[in-house]
Amino acid sequence: MRLVGLTGGIASGKSTVSGLFKSAGVPVVDADINVVQKGTGGWKKIVKTFGNDILLENGEIDRALLGQIVFSDPAKRKLLNRLLAPHISCGIFWEILKLWVKGCTVISVDIPLLFETKMDRWTNPVVVVWVDPKTQIERLMLRNGCSEEQAQNRISAQLALDWKKSEADIVINNSGSLEDTKEQFREVLEQVSAPLTWKERMRSRDGFLSIVMCTAAGVLLAQKNLL
């Protein structure tokens, strides 16, 4: 089984690339969505800590409002990360396990804090969606309706995107048009869809079952020879 780590920065276009993976038939485990859905442990901790004011009418977390709160207060941002870290790890594990049981051999894991949570060590390759600083600020201002200063503050609160780029196995430059990104993605898809290595095959469901069957056959044969 191959776990493709997907990460980036705010307004870098990671969600766009995640959508391209889904459209191409590659299952995606979204760390953010899985842990803050209504009724989950992460959702309960957030509501308990930040109050009911951060909820939308349907009971889901108002992500825009929560973002405003934590990005304007470093202490609250660190608190949120501490609250969600165990739920993110556990949630990702169970989602991957369910896909493993189904026999999926390539899975994209969409984790904004991939490097911060050290989960990059479990994924290979690591794909970073990069965008130039000027474009990143412009897109964030347009998306959130915020000022340039507010946009810069939110970007500065995260791990530098250039550093993530330097640590990546694959970089998608999302500074241009959507067509440019799609063209790069087609090359990435070809790379991640290449035949599995023997280690990856052994981690897959079918590889695991083969090991179990071979082991069982060996035990039965040994028992027969002893009789």
Residue 41 has pLDDT above 90, yes or no: no
Domains of the chain: total: 1
Does the residue 227 lie in any domain? no
Does the residue 89 lie in any domain? yes
Residue 126: pLDDT band with limits 50, 70, 90: very high
Number of other residues whose CB lies within 10 A of the CB of residue 36: 22
CATH number at residue 98: 3.40.50.300
User: Cα(25)–Cα(47) distance, rounded to whole angstroms?
Assistant: 34
Residue 218: pLDDT band with limits 50, 70, 90: low
pLDDT for res 162 = 96
Could you read off the pLDDT of 152-209 as tens digits, one per residue?
A: 988 988 899 999 999 999 999 999 999 999 999 999 999 999 999 988 888 888 876 7
pTM of this prediction? 0.83
Residue 212 has pLDDT above 70, yes or no: no
User: Cα(160)–Cα(8) distance, rounded to whole angstroms?
Assistant: 10
For residue 195, which amino acid is it?
P
- The β-bridge partners of 109 are 5, 29
Q: Which one has a higher pLDDT value, 218 or 78?
A: 78
User: Cα(97)–Cα(206) distance, rounded to whole angstroms?
Assistant: 13
Q: Is the dihedral of CA 55, 58, 61, 67 positive or negative?
A: negative
- Please report, rounded to a whole number, the percentage of residues in the chain having pLDDT higher than 90: 53
Residue 8, H or E segment: strand 2-8
pLDDT for res 226 = 63
Residue 219 has pLDDT above 70, yes or no: no
For residue 114, which amino acid is it?
L
Does the residue 179 lie in any domain? yes
Does the residue 210 lie in any domain? yes
Could you read off the pLDDT of 72-110 as tens digits, one per residue?
A: 888 888 888 888 888 787 888 889 999 999 999 999 999
Does the residue 17 lie in any domain? yes
Domain region containing 61: 2-222
pLDDT for res 18 = 96
The label of the residue with tokens 């780590």 reads 5
User: Cα(12)–Cα(129) distance, rounded to whole angstroms?
Assistant: 6
